């Protein structure tokens, strides 16, 4: 195992509960389980997709929804979301094997670095879409990490919580692992599926 390429929000950091509730509350101050489930299915595609779709369905301005989302990110500066269960053990296992922990994220670099620092995550390098890379499922960010660190695709594994994460990995010839959200059906293509990050430990030496 030469490197594990992580997605950040939703994979390394358990950001979805805060994001889902913020967007749902922008529609209904007291959102029920049905609305929260609807939001969850949309945010697993992307936050931007969720905002545009919810605005059309519920006749709420995109500005209102995006403001709620940005307020959540501001809140994380003082009260960061928790590290996803099993992430620290997996980070350590990669290091123990002499591998690198790398991040490929749609977040801007400032917020990504702030979140990594706040959670004290041992990340060796990251690439961010706003640095000039197309968003996943385009493989450009994964390919950039492989090239920068002279890594063979077959020596790496990529884990993410969205279909776009594993599609980007597949397009770069890297094995992908989809971290599933209970109750939210997701397409994984030919990628492995796990219900918890601890299950990825069994794949590190595969």
Based on the fold, state whether residues 74 and 87 are members of the same structural domain: no
Domain boundary among 34, 58, 78: 78
Based on the fold, state whether residues 126 and 53 are members of the same structural domain: no
Tracing tokens 């992307």 back to the chain, one arrives at 46
pLDDT at 206: 66
What's the pLDDT tens digit per position in 75-120? Answer: 998 899 999 999 999 999 999 999 999 999 999 999 899 999 999 9
Based on the fold, state whether residues 119 and 58 are members of the same structural domain: no
Q: Within 10 Å of residue 188's Cβ, how many Cβ atoms?
A: 17
Q: 143 is in which domain, residue-wise?
A: 3-14+82-203
Based on the fold, state whether residues 134 and 183 are members of the same structural domain: yes
Bridge partners, residue 128, by sequence: 105
Based on the fold, state whether residues 56 and 146 are members of the same structural domain: no
Domain boundary among 78, 97, 132: 78
Based on the fold, state whether residues 10 and 20 are members of the same structural domain: no
Give me the tens of pLDDT residue by residue for the chain, a chain 206 residues long: 899 999 999 999 999 999 999 999 999 999 999 999 999 999 998 899 999 999 999 999 999 999 999 999 889 988 999 999 999 999 999 999 999 999 999 999 998 999 999 999 999 999 999 999 999 999 999 999 999 999 999 999 999 999 999 999 999 999 999 999 888 888 888 899 999 999 999 999 86
Based on the fold, state whether residues 20 and 7 are members of the same structural domain: no
Based on the fold, state whether residues 87 and 71 are members of the same structural domain: no
Based on the fold, state whether residues 55 and 91 are members of the same structural domain: no
- Token pair listed for 7: 């997605």
Residue 137: is the preceding peptide bond cis (ω within 30°)?
Answer: yes
- Token pair listed for 126: 């990251």
pLDDT at 185: 84
β pairing state of 192-194 and 156-160: unpaired
Based on the fold, state whether residues 73 and 90 are members of the same structural domain: no
- Overall number of domains in the chain: 2
Phi, psi angles (nearest 5°) of residue 80:
-65, 155
Residue 121 CA, distance from chain mean position: 14
Angle formed at CA 110 by CA 105 and CA 114, multiple of 5 degrees: 90
Give the C-alpha separation, 166 to 189, whole Å. 8
Based on the fold, state whether residues 57 and 132 are members of the same structural domain: no
Based on the fold, state whether residues 188 and 125 are members of the same structural domain: yes
Domain boundary among 49, 78, 107: 78
Buried b / exposed e along 85-105 (16+ C-beta atoms within 10 A): ebbbebbebbeeeebbbbbbb
Q: What is the CATH classification number for the domain harbouring 193?
A: 3.40.50.1000
């Amino acid at each position: 195992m030469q490197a594990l390429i992580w997605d950040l929000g939703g994979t390394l950091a358990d950001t979805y509960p805060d994001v889902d509730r913020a967007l749902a509350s922008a529609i209904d101050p007291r959102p029920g389980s049905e609305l929260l489930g609807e939001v969850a299915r949309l945010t697993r595609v992307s936050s931007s997709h969720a905002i545009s779709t919810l605005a059309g369905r519920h006749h709420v301005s995109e500005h209102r929804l995006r403001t709620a989302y940005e307020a959540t990110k501001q809140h994380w500066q003082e009260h960061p979301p928790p590290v996803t269960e099993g992430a620290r053990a997996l980070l350590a296992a990669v290091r123990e094997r002499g591998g690198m922990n790398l991040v490929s994220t749609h977040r801007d670099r400032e917020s990504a670095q702030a979140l990594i620092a706040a959670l004290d995550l041992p990340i060796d390098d990251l690439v961010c879409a706003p640095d000039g890379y197309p968003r996943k499922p385009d493989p450009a960010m994964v390919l950039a990490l492989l090239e920068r660190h002279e890594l063979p695709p077959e020596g790496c594994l990529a884990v993410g919580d969205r279909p776009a994460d594993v599609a980007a990995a597949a397009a770069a010839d890297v094995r992908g692992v989809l971290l599933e959200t209970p109750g939210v059906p997701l397409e994984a293509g030919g990628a492995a599926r796990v219900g918890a990050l601890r299950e990825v430990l069994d794949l590190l030496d595969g």
